[in-house]
Structure 1
Amino acid sequence: MTGFGARLAAAKLERGPLCLGIDPHPELLRAWDLPVTPDGLAAFCDTCIEAFSGFAVVKPQVAFFEAYGSAGYAVLERTIAALRSVGVLVLADAKRGDIGSTMAAYATAWAGDSPLAADAVTASPYLGFGSLRPLLEAAAAHDRGVFVVAASSNPEGSTVQRATFDGRTVSQLVIDQAAVVNRSATPNGPGYVGVVLGATVFEPPDVSALGGPVLVPGVGVQGGRPEALAGLGGAAPGQLLPAVGREVLRAGPDVTDLRAGAQRMLDAVSYLSVI
């Protein structure tokens, strides 16, 4: 299998630079006239699969599946498999982060041979970037990707992420350490380790030397403006992957309307693939 960085670059070139979220919040299920049950969750996901099948990347928010226990995980497994079967790259938004054998177990689940393993997974580095080693190694061995949270848009995050150490902010240290992994693993191509950089982050850290993709959540109803993303954090052309969830999902439940909402957002950010 081709490495994740190369697969992502090819998918964005062919299908556009947009990551669509599957965020089955109970309020959205009710808005779609679906029950807040595993059956409602499955129906929600089936609609999203049909509507998003022609796009590059889809990001299921794992927390909304976990809320239903094993039944929710079963829906997540089916959703991941269905999206991948039609050529969509799946990014599991799990934000896992732990140490030692526990991190190794998470790595097996989300980046190994588990039914939950997608093309990529999000991770939290705030137990130390080195704690992610089992996940990074598993992802590399299985040609998957990891998006490490660097700078988030929530106000609480800045108390940690903008703290300084050795002359750099913590978020910058995360990015710099991800860059080291990318340079070592894929010195001549796009790396498999990306970072998460919120669309509304004040004074974003520098991602220009990352050598990997930058996931940019928070576009749309969370305040991020598509037209303002170019060059975020010094990003190179084609490096950014804007992520949108509720801005598109509120167009449902009609598949045609949902697909049209996704296409409008793709049109709004398509310039990021060429500048």
Structure 2
Amino acid sequence: MRNFADILIEQSIQKKSVFVVGLDPDIAFFPHFLIKDTQDASQEVIANAIFQFNQIIIDAVADHVVAIKPQLAYYEVYGSHGIRALEETIAYARSKGLLIINDAKRGDIGSTSLAYAKAFLGQSPLSGDMVTVNPFLGSDGYLPFVDVAKNNGKGLFILLKTSNPSSHEIQNLSLEDGELLYFRIAENLHKLSLSTKGEHDYSFIGTVVGATYPLEAERIRQFLPHCIFLVPGFGMQGGKAEDLKVFFDAKGHGALISSSRGIIYCYMDNNPYWEATTAEEMHTLIQKAALQAKEQINAVRGI
């Protein structure tokens, strides 16, 4: 079984892209050709609209991204119909040659954690290639994900320094020895990464480091040279292209840069009539936004 980090890096090289687009479908921002009556629509109708929305995005970005990243909350809110839309989205993305990062942020202990790992890193219609994992229950919360990922040739991203403004409230807590909590987690990841490296010198165990914290990222990169970073927060959350260099190694590898709202809702920008956007207009604008983002990131990478 190949180390998933090698598969990810080789696909990034082939596509000349480390860009990831998040699929966070909010029907309040859907053009009317997808759904008009959001108040009285059934969950089945909404789920169908979500899948159609995702299809347009995937078709528009497929040439410019290495992966898509569904945020599971946007699907779970519609129960079984939403999960069906997610499963159909995953299958459609695979048909376009894209990798799937399930942004689930799961974390539990023992057998429950193992069940989550099998759900998202196994062989079910819900399974992707990578999943985000919450480490704040301790190592018995994330080690089952490590084992399942290794056995299935997949990967995971453990939350470390997230992009949200209040992340410091917990992640930056100072421990008794003066070390910050997120850096103690980084120490544990470093030990794991040393024993799980692939041919490209990266582990299938990655970590989440927000684009909004480039100074912290620079220190983390020095300490975690074998972990691939999933970097949310680029674009609308305030992460800037010029600050991304510290996330990469000297070859321009080691990080995936993610943007969601800035790409998938770009048709709303400065457009008071965005609800009348057609499918063709939506595709064209999203394709243009994805290409521009990829080129900005590659300029920082020196590619």
Residue 209 of structure 2 corresponds to residue 197 of structure 1: yes
Q: Retained in 2: the 8 A contact 1:196–1:217?
A: yes
Gaps of 5+ in 1: none
- CA distance in 1 between partners of 2:185 and 2:152 (Å): 23
Q: For 1:96 and 1:60, how far apart are their aligned partners in 2? A: 14
Measured in 2, the distance between the counterparts of 1:74 and 1:178 equals: 34
Q: How does 1:100-179 map to 2 (within 5 A)?
A: 100-165=110-175, 166-179=177-190
- Rounded Cα–Cα distance in structure 2 between residues aligned with 1:71 and 1:28: 19
Residue in 2 that maps onto 1:38: 47
Q: Please tell me whether residue 242 in structure 1 is matched to residue 254 in structure 2.
A: no
Q: Give 3-state SS (helix, strand or coil) of 1:206's partner.
A: helix
2:220 is paired with a residue whose SS is: coil
Displacement of 1:235 in angstroms is: 5.2
Q: Could you list the per-position Cα deviations for residues 116-169 of structure 1 after superposition, in whole angstroms to 9, with x for gaps in the alignment?
A: 111100111111134211111101111111011101122322111111234421
Shift of 1:258: 1.2
- Partner Cα separation in structure 1 for residue 158 and residue 263 of structure 2: 24
2:133, 2:120 → 1: CA distance? 10
Kept after mapping to 2: 8 A contact 1:238/1:274? no
Shift of residue 272, structure 1, vs aligned partner: 4.1
Q: Relative to structure 1, is the Cα distance of residues 266 and 187 closer, same or farther in structure 2, using a 3 angstrom cutoff?
A: closer
Q: Given that residues 208 and 235 in structure 1 are in contact (C-alpha distance below 8 angstroms), is that contact kept between their aligned partners in structure 2? A: no
Q: Which residue of 2 aligns with 1:259?
A: 287
- Tell me, in whole angstroms, the C-alpha distance in 2 between the residues paired with 1:17 and 1:197: 15
Which secondary structure does the structure 2 equivalent of 1:126 belong to? Answer: coil
Q: Which residue of 1 aligns with 2:89?
A: 79
The aligned residue for residue 208 of structure 1 is 222
**Aligned pair in 2 of structure 1 residues 32, 129: CA closer, same or farther (>3 Å)?**
farther
What is the TM-score when the length of structure 2 is the normalising length? Answer: 0.84
**Structure 2 residue aligned with 1:7:** 7
Cα displacement (A) at 1:113: 2.0
Shift of residue 56 of structure 1?
A: 0.8
TM-aligned CA deviation for residue 44 of structure 1: 0.8
1:203 Cα deviation from its structure 2 partner: 4.1
Larger CA Rg, structure 1 vs 2: 2
- Say whether residues 1:219 and 2:219 are aligned partners: no
Q: State the Cα distance separating 1:64 from its structure 2 match.
A: 0.4
Equivalent position amino acid for 2:258 in 1: A
Q: Distance in 2 between matches of 1:109 and 1:214?
A: 23
SS of the equivalent of 1:208 reads helix
Rounded to whole Å, the distance in 2 between the matches of 1:193 and 1:105 is 18
- Partner letter of residue 45 of structure 1? N
Alpha-carbon distance between aligned partners in 2 of 1:183 and 1:195, rounded to the nearest angstrom: 14
1:247 offset after TM fit, Å? 0.8
Q: Distance in 2 between matches of 1:125 and 1:223?
A: 25
Match for residue 50 of structure 1?
Answer: 59
194-203 or 12-21, which moves further after superposition? 194-203
Q: Flag the 1:31–1:264 CA change in 2: closer, same or farther, 3 A.
A: farther
Q: C-alpha distance in 2, partners of 1:258/1:179?
A: 37
| CA distance in structure 2 between the aligned counterparts of 1:38 and 1:222, rounded to whole angstroms | 27
Which deviates more, 29-38 or 128-137?
A: 29-38
Instruction: For 1:255, give the aligned amino acid.
Output: H
Provide closer, same or farther for how the CA distance between residues 6 and 70 of structure 1 changes in structure 2, counting only shifts above 3 A.
same
Instruction: Measure, in 1, the Cα distance between the counterparts of 2:234 and 2:220.
Output: 19
Tell me, in whole angstroms, the C-alpha distance in 1 between the residues paired with 2:214 and 2:4.
Answer: 29
Query: Deviation of residue 178 (structure 1)?
Result: 1.8
Change in 2 beyond 3 A, CA 1:156/1:32: farther
TM-score by structure 1 length?
0.92
State whether residues 21 and 244 of structure 1, in contact with CA within 8 Å, keep that contact through their aligned partners in structure 2.
Answer: yes
User: Does the 8 A contact of 2:210 with 2:231 survive in 1?
Assistant: yes
Question: Deviations for 1:151-195, whole angstroms, at most 9, x for unmatched residues?
Answer: 112232211111123442111122222222221122652210111
Count how many residue pairs are aligned between Structure 1 and Structure 2.
274
3-state SS of paired residue (1:207):
helix
Contact 1:175 1:207 in 2 (8 A): no
What is the deviation of 1:202?
A: 6.8
